């Protein structure tokens, strides 16, 4: 503590001397003045606050609050978070190869990467982490657990596991390794003459892997009639890989994206550099509200050049460029430095956020631009698909099942009774009645948006002196009756989610993707469109 105070005092003296050389109307004077104030405040809190203060924790709170006031994408990356940053940029990290989430009091394994340390050691989805290296993990945050699980390859971590269906906890020793997650987890044929390529993140080699997948589809299927390129849920990644992915489908020398920021010397224009894999094969691109950043560059470029048809829901709306800056002690600042503009001239950045999520911008408040063939497209608030499809998971009952992890828990119980299932192509879940019984045993309930509004109405009317109890109760009874029917009305959607979760337990990520393709409404629409040349061309011509 004395050393920290000593350094704080030295920094204060330095800033006082530097500030004296600036005039009060100089911007740098304001910067140095406020840094001095911050340093003095930090010193006073450390010296005189009634309780002991962790200096690192206190500073982290201040840093997070500062960058949070800018935009959701400017972040401080501490030394302990470097492995997570490496995974986002390179698609690999040092760890055990498992995805986890907090469910109840414990962090629970939700997915395994095939052949990695966790899989080899015998971990299963549904396993709860009770302790790590003998330290109690009750109530721990998943990030804290993951920071421990990630470490140098070859080192060992001991986990105490509680497994559903077993009476006693047990220990597992896992040897950490380098986990490499493929950014193109699956490609293949989904219908007669229709190819499919999924890209989950824009990490290194994304462009090369997409190009190889498209080449393989063409070589193995000489009569290929079209390709479905799936960017749903892809949150982006490296800008240069977005350019490389675009280059698979558009010619060499075409502008992909321009970046513009405060530092004019950093403004750049990125164009395709290589020969394309295919310029003519009909193309559909699937996007949704979780397609962001590099995904929006690629889908927007495909739309701007009329190279393919976009299907799905409006994308996230992240038109900002981040660069990382080293700030000492193996820490980094991921800093928004520019906005990006795609070939039509539009920027798809949302102008306002609430709780880190973009606020919807009506079309009449967005500026129109033109694609190469003259179609009208709009800026701001994400990329709007050419064919909009309502997403089924917006149903309140489906949200409730997912938020309460009930499908996950049911599948965990299901797998205890089934050592194996048929291949994805032949497997069908046929025990919906058993699932309904499971929900009854768990006393499943969920709040609809209507119930939330009624609760608010009741509170407001009571405050204002209105007696609406009877009317509200009558409406609540109608909602309860509708909620009982909602389970059966959404049977197909829920069955699809159960089948995907079951497939992931036996056949990992590839199995989940294959099962999802079988029941996917957006895939069906894409296949129909690619089989209808006239409709496909009319979409591109607006």
Pairwise CA distance, residues 494 & 432, whole Å: 9
CA distances from 482 to 29, 44, 324, 448, 479 (A): 64, 59, 51, 10, 5
Evaluate whether 110 touches 100 at the Cβ level (below 8 Å): yes
First to last CA, the chain: 67
Pairwise CA distance, residues 152 & 175, whole Å: 9
| Interstrand relation of 376-378 and 368-370 (parallel, antiparallel or unpaired) | antiparallel
Cβ partners under 8 Å of residue 132, min gap 6 = 145, 148, 149, 157, 158, 159, 160
In this structure, the number of other CB atoms found within 10 A of the CB of residue 438 comes to 17
Evaluate whether 468 touches 458 at the Cβ level (below 8 Å): yes
Q: Which residues form the catalytic set?
A: 293, 304, 318
Pairwise CA distance, residues 240 & 340, whole Å: 13
Q: Nearest CA to 481 among 469, 473, 491, 470?
A: 473
Pair of tokens at residue 75: 């972040």
Q: Nearest CA to 383 among 308, 322, 279?
A: 308
Q: Nearest CA to 283 among 223, 347, 209, 194?
A: 194
What is the separation of C-alpha 223 from the centre of its chain, rounded to a whole number of angstroms? 35
| Residue 287 DSSP code | E
CA distances from 189 to 218, 225, 276 (A): 10, 11, 21
Rg of the chain in Å (alpha carbons): 27
- The DSSP string of 204-249 is TTHHHHHHHHHHHHHHH-TT--EEEEE-TT---B-HHHHHHHHHTT
**Lookup result for tokens 């499809």:** 389
Pairwise CA distance, residues 176 & 172, whole Å: 12
**Lookup result for tokens 């055990």:** 96
Handedness of CA 283, 202, 181, 399 (dihedral sign): negative
| Interstrand relation of 98-103 and 106-112 (parallel, antiparallel or unpaired) | antiparallel
Evaluate whether 397 touches 483 at the Cβ level (below 8 Å): yes
Pairwise CA distance, residues 497 & 489, whole Å: 15
């Amino acid at each position: 503590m004395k050393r920290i105070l000593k350094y704080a005092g030295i920094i204060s003296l330095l800033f006082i001397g530097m500030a004296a050389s600036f005039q009060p109307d100089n911007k740098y004077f304001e910067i140095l003045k406020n840094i001095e104030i911050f340093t003095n405040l930090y010193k006073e809190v450390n010296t005189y606050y009634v309780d002991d203060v962790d200096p690192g924790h206190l500073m982290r709170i201040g840093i997070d609050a500062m960058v949070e006031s800018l935009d959701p994408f400017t972040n401080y990356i501490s030394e302990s978070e470097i492995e997570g940053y490496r995974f986002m940029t390179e698609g690999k990290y040092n760890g055990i190869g498992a995805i986890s989430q907090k469910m109840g009091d414990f962090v629970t394994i939700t997915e395994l990467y095939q052949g990695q340390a966790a899989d080899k050691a015998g971990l299963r989805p549904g396993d709860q982490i009770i302790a790590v290296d003998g330290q109690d993990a009750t109530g721990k945050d998943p990030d804290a657990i993951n920071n421990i699980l990630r470490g140098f390859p070859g080192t060992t971590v001991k986990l105490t596991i509680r497994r559903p269906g077993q009476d006693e906890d047990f220990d597992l020793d896992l040897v950490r390794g380098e986990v490499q997650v493929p950014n193109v987890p699956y490609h293949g044929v989904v219908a007669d003459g229709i190819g499919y390529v999924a890209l989950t993140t824009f990490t290194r080699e994304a462009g090369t892997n997409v190009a190889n997948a498209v080449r393989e589809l063409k070589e193995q299927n000489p009569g290929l009639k079209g390709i479905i390129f799936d960017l749903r849920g892809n949150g982006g990644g490296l800008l240069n890989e977005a350019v490389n992915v675009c280059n698979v489908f558009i010619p060499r020398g075409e502008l992909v994206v321009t970046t513009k920021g405060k530092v004019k010397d950093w403004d750049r224009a990125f164009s395709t550099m290589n020969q394309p894999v295919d310029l003519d094969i009909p193309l559909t691109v699937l996007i949704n509200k979780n397609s962001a950043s590099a995904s929006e560059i690629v889908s927007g470029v495909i739309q701007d050049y009329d190279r393919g048809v976009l299907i799905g829901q409006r994308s996230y709306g992240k038109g900002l460029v981040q660069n990382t800056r080293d700030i000492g002690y193996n820490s980094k600042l991921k800093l928004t430095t520019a906005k990006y503009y795609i070939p039509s001239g539009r920027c798809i950045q949302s102008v306002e956020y609430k709780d880190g999520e973009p606020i919807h911008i009506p079309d009449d408040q967005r500026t129109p631009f033109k694609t190469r063939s003259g179609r009208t497209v709009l800026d701001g608030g994400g990329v709007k698909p050419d064919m909009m499809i309502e997403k089924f998971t917006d149903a309140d009952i489906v949200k409730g099942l997912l938020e309460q992890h009930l499908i996950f828990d049911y599948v965990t119980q299901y797998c205890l009774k089934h050592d194996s299932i048929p291949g994805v192509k032949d497997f069908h879940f046929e025990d919906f009645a058993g699932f309904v019984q499971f929900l009854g045993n768990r006393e499943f309930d969920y709040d609809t948006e209507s119930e939330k509004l009624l609760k608010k109405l009741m509170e407001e009317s009571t405050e204002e002196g209105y007696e609406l109890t009877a009317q509200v109760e009558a409406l609540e009874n109608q909602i309860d009756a509708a909620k009982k029917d909602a389970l059966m009305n959404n049977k197909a959607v829920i069955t699809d989610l159960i089948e995907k979760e079951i497939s992931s337990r036996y056949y990992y990520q590839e199995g989940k993707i294959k099962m999802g393709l079988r029941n996917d409404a957006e895939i069906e629409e894409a296949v129909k469109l690619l089989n209808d040349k006239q409709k496909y061309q009319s979409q591109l011509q607006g």
